[in-house]
Amino acid sequence: MQDNTLLSFLVGILVIGALIIATVMLTKKGGMHLDVDKYRLKWMAIEKQLNKDDLSGCVLAVLNADKLLDQALRDRGIKGQTMGDRMKAAKGMWSNANAVWGAHKLRNQIAHESDHHLSYEDARRAITRFKQALKDVGAI
């Protein structure tokens, strides 16, 4: 009888431990695993869009890099209504928060200011910043 009680007690401890671990893993902010291969393929396509002789490709590269970062944040479980909200929620992840915000700000200028003229150098700088941000969140 005492062996059954001890066995039941140990099984109960194991079940409770497994539940605690599962709860921590599911509620841990940004704890979701990203498909790195999928993100790398998408990133390579973005880098191909960045071409000194094709400014429309540079525009697309910046827009798509921003979109890919936003997807990575959502896939990591970062909450927020907008990308800006998600970026704020992920503030502890950034190796250089000002750089990430600068790249996102450039994206917003491209998207919302019809008279914004993007240079290749600005696009290249933003792409470099988005790449680091994607590394920071574990996407590439």
Residues 93 and 76 in one domain: yes
Range of the domain at 81: 36-136
Do 68 and 96 lie in a common domain?
A: yes
40 shares its domain with 76: yes
Q: What long-range pairs does 13-20 form, CB within 8 A, spacing at least 24?
A: none
pLDDT at 79: 96
pLDDT score at 27:
46
Averages of pLDDT over runs of 10 residues in the chain (140 residues) are 72 72 52 88 98 96 98 97 97 97 98 95 98 97
Tally the domains of the chain: 2
Q: Say yes or no: 59 and 10 in one domain.
A: no
Q: Which pLDDT score is estimated for 9?
A: 73
Torsion of Cα atoms, 50 then 54 then 55 then 59, to 10°: -50
Do both 119 and 70 map to the same domain? yes
**Within this chain, do residues 50 and 104 fall inside the same structural domain, yes or no?**
yes
Cross-strand bridge partners of residue 54? 51
Residue (of 26, 22, 41, 28) closest to 139 by Cα position: 41
